[in-house]
Structure 1
Amino acid sequence: MPETAEPLPARLPTAAFLPFLIAGVIIAAAYGSSFLLPEYLRTMAFDNTSIGRVISAGMVTTLLCCCLAGWAAQHIGVMGSITAAAVAMAGAMVAFACVPLAPEAAYAGGLLLGVGWSVFYILAPLQIIHHLQPSARLQYFTILSGAQMAGLGLATPLGHLIVQASASYGLFYELAGSACLVSALCLVIAQRAMAQLPKSATRQVSLRLTDLKALLGSQAALPIAMILLGACIFSGLSTYQASYAEGRQLRADNFFITFTLTSVLLRFSVARSIGRLPLQRLAVGLFLFTSLSLGMFLLNRGSTSLYLLATVVFAVGYGLSYSTLNSLAVNQAEANGLSPSVTSQVFTLAYFIGLFGFPSLGGAIMGHWGIDWVLVCLLAAALINLLLIASTHYRRLPSI
């Protein structure tokens, strides 16, 4: 790929970005197929402990590969690593399909699932960073996250449809594995299309302690800390949504369907225009919406209308915060001479830590004080993020 000192473009050619986006939808849908794993494995006589071990295997490799993905990208390239992740995801789907013949294959599937998803999720933004000017990144980050959300949201209903039609979970995972191989082909096509595009001079990609120390001592550490808290908010609200809905005689399915539809439609509809907004002002608005929604969840005593409204407001606030904070972290790091590639990886790692870490804390809070206190903690986290970004924004106002 030609490296250039010239200003990078503001857009990617359709021939390069479209297959990349298709691959993102497929890989996200394959990861979303894990939501069907508990019910599938129960039909295979797995008990809850065994199911938990399969899922935990995926969590372990997710966090481990977040730390190693940069090393792989340093040696075989970003697109080469992402393509390998698609193949690993195909392997995971095949392993799950083989569970009726070899039950131990479920553990291999869990391990490969974590490898495939984490490497793709952490490295895909790097390809955008390398080929686009900073002002254009938010638009493409938003489109990519919308595609991933669409894949995640479609996986469960599509899986249930296939299972009901064929009475076979194995067929669903076989089809998902085939789709992952198609995604690998799409990535090869995208790589060839991007080969002649201008590219920023590649700095350090693999994670090193010296880079991490410099990053955490810079302004980019703030959005990284904020996404950790944001991930806790999303993880807590989604993990304990069934308990919340049950306690208020509501339907948790309404939350998940409404959140997914709103997030996907919002990301695709505003992607082109969102990049024109100042990142810090946008982040202030997003955390205002997130805080407002959590307050609405907390105050709701059983109104379906208020439940749906709170979900829409939450989808607006949280749904755009990941791409906004990612752009803010990467741009601030780059402006201070730090590696944007390393910054994006640390940002994603912080997200996964919050996503996987909070349910344990939330479970303890819920066990002692109930779901309302979980919501209070989530609201506190949202208000902390709001105060952090607001104070940063207003400190910078005189220089704007």
Structure 2
Amino acid sequence: MSTATPHVSSRVFGLFCLASYLLSLSYGSTFLLSLLIGSRGGNEHDAGSVISAAMLSTFAAVVVSGHLSDLLGAARSIALFGVLLVAASLGFALTPGFGNLLLFFGLLLGLGWGVFYTLGPMIVASLVTPAQRAKYFALLSGSMMTGIGSGPLLGRAASAFGYPVTAAFYLAALASLMGVLLFWRLHSQLKKTPSPTATVARISWRATTQVLSSKAVFPIIMVGLGGCVFGGLSSFQTSYAASRSLDYSLFFFGFMGAAISSRMLIAGIVVKRDALRASCLLSGVMAGSIVLFSFVVDSELSYVLAAMMLGVGYGLTYSVINGLAANETPHGTTSQSLLLFSLSYFIGVFGFPLLAGKIIVEHGMTTLLLTVLAIGLLNWLITLGRLIWRRVDSSKSLQQA
């Protein structure tokens, strides 16, 4: 049997990606929370607290998502918890002020997004062969990141037509509801698709120990660091743009455009290359984008360029290390590795904004950018170290032979 032939039809996978895009709009709209809460008298620290509330509930989501998948099916579990994304988006729009009720809706967001973000890659891993995973992970993450990037653009479009920023959250809720309905319908179609990989989705301490004792621990750490970079820059991009008299929509246009085009034009080439070399190069591009944000951006052109570099570097790095997390784990623990991969991502993307907001309020945007740069460089050094270790190990093997 040829590993080049996908086990899922293009139509089904296309609907899967569309549903993923629609659900992702709800998370993307949270990048407007800083703007929304600021208009109600709050600051970046308040916004970071709401976003980071989601980190607590994602822990529960990651733990229970595997059990839900085994009990109800992954697509139907995503649909059920996707309703919480609808509720969270509506809650952000309807809640007055910036009190504890927003924290509650942040928790709902974490539950819904956590189940979706965890089970989505597991569906892909079960539908395609290991050789195809990097390619199909790229298509899935491209759909999700396009939705994430579109969320803030809804806010910019709303303001352009004279509507308040809350209109973006209403639209995100409507889009997420459509995504819920699509995932509910996909359940029966995915059940008919033959699976080349039999997996158990539940996580256990034994499986966790096996995964973290393998090479899969490196991409799991990297996705957490990358999540810090992405969460720190995106969650407070409205504040960054305002500090430099720029339009924040340029960031999301540049980021989303680069993420989409890189997947269409070069993702197929990247996934065929050596994964460690590719992740080293791409994480270096991501670190370079942070340098631009920190020291170079002073015009619309440089702003868009930095955003495009982040879109290419972060977007493609994520796809590559997602494949590494699935393929470098011990046999029979692929699903558990992907669960830990998602958990690490959530710690970074939801946990870091709390610290980032505090840094902005107490020390300023410049200090935050330097902190994010240090994280980006550490992320790059992990892949560089792995490449050097592999070369040394290969040289030793040749000498012994």
- TM-score under structure 1 normalisation? 0.82
For residues 266-301 of structure 1, give each alpha carbon's deviation from its aligned partner in whole angstroms, at most 9, with x where no partner exists. 223334333222211110110221222223333327
Amino acid at match of 2:375: A
Q: Equivalent residue for 1:219?
A: 215
Residue of 201, 207, 210 corresponding to 2:203: 207
* Cα distance change on mapping 1:35 and 1:217 into 2, 3 Å: same
Amino acid at match of 1:337: H
Residue of 23, 27, 35 corresponding to 1:27: 23
Does residue 147 (structure 1) correspond to residue 143 (structure 2)? The answer is: yes
Residue of 225, 231, 236 corresponding to 1:235: 231
Q: Equivalent residue for 1:182?
A: 178
User: How far did 1:62 drift?
Assistant: 2.9
Q: Equivalent residue for 1:80?
A: 76
Matched residues in 1 for 2:95 and 2:242: separation?
33
Matched residues in 1 for 2:246 and 2:362: separation?
23
Q: Equivalent residue for 1:290?
A: 286
Long gaps (5+) in structure 1: none
Report the 3-state secondary structure (helix = DSSP H, G, I; strand = E; otherwise coil) of the residue aligned with 2:209. helix
Residue of 289, 302, 314 corresponding to 1:318: 314
* Cα distance change on mapping 1:205 and 1:289 into 2, 3 Å: same
Matched residues in 2 for 1:96 and 1:367: separation?
22
Q: Equivalent residue for 1:351?
A: 345
Matched residues in 2 for 1:115 and 1:388: separation?
30
Residue of 255, 260, 263 corresponding to 1:259: 255
Amino acid at match of 2:149: G
Equivalences for 1:79-228 in 2 at 5 Å?
79-93=75-89, 109-158=105-154, 161=157, 176-228=172-224
Matched residues in 2 for 1:316 and 1:167: separation?
32
For residues 56-107 of structure 1, give each alpha carbon's deviation from its aligned partner in whole angstroms, at most 9, with x where no partner exists. 554432333123212222322222211212233334455567658xx99866
User: How far did 1:223 drift?
Assistant: 0.9
Q: Equivalent residue for 2:276?
A: 280
Q: Equivalent residue for 2:305?
A: 309
For residues 141-185 of structure 1, give each alpha carbon's deviation from its aligned partner in whole angstroms, at most 9, with x where no partner exists. 111112112222223333564687695888766665454343233
Amino acid at match of 1:205: A
Q: Equivalent residue for 2:376?
A: 382
For residues 35-63 of structure 1, give each alpha carbon's deviation from its aligned partner in whole angstroms, at most 9, with x where no partner exists. 455666788x7977997776555443233
- Alignment check: 8 A CA contact 1:19 1:189 kept: no
Q: Which moved more, 1:157-166 or 1:77-86?
A: 157-166
Matched residues in 1 for 2:190 and 2:337: separation?
22
Matched residues in 2 for 1:222 and 1:287: separation?
13
- Alignment check: 8 A CA contact 1:240 1:371 kept: no
Q: CA RMSD in A?
A: 3.6
Residue of 321, 335, 344 corresponding to 1:341: 335
Q: Which moved more, 1:237-246 or 1:305-314?
A: 237-246
- Residue identity (%): 31
- Alignment check: 8 A CA contact 1:11 1:136 kept: no
Matched residues in 2 for 1:97 and 1:364: separation?
24
Matched residues in 1 for 2:129 and 2:51: separation?
38
Amino acid at match of 2:346: F
User: How far did 1:249 drift?
Assistant: 5.0
- Alignment check: 8 A CA contact 1:17 1:190 kept: no
* Cα distance change on mapping 1:231 and 1:95 into 2, 3 Å: closer
Report the 3-state secondary structure (helix = DSSP H, G, I; strand = E; otherwise coil) of the residue aligned with 1:277. coil
* Cα distance change on mapping 1:200 and 1:383 into 2, 3 Å: same
- Alignment check: 8 A CA contact 2:83 2:180 kept: yes
Matched residues in 2 for 1:199 and 1:283: separation?
28
Amino acid at match of 1:263: A
Q: Equivalent residue for 1:65?
A: 61
* Cα distance change on mapping 1:59 and 1:163 into 2, 3 Å: farther
* Cα distance change on mapping 1:116 and 1:364 into 2, 3 Å: closer
Amino acid at match of 2:229: I
- Alignment check: 8 A CA contact 2:118 2:339 kept: yes
* Cα distance change on mapping 1:39 and 1:291 into 2, 3 Å: closer
- Alignment check: 8 A CA contact 2:48 2:356 kept: no
- Alignment check: 8 A CA contact 1:29 1:151 kept: yes
Report the 3-state secondary structure (helix = DSSP H, G, I; strand = E; otherwise coil) of the residue aligned with 1:320. helix
Matched residues in 1 for 2:60 and 2:140: separation?
23
Q: Which moved more, 1:303-312 or 1:256-265?
A: 303-312
Amino acid at match of 2:368: V
Q: Which moved more, 1:218-227 or 1:336-345?
A: 336-345
Amino acid at match of 1:129: A
Matched residues in 2 for 1:167 and 1:11: separation?
45
User: How far did 1:14 drift?
Assistant: 1.5
- TM-score under structure 2 normalisation? 0.82
* Cα distance change on mapping 1:198 and 1:171 into 2, 3 Å: same
Matched residues in 1 for 2:9 and 2:349: separation?
33
Matched residues in 1 for 2:241 and 2:281: separation?
27
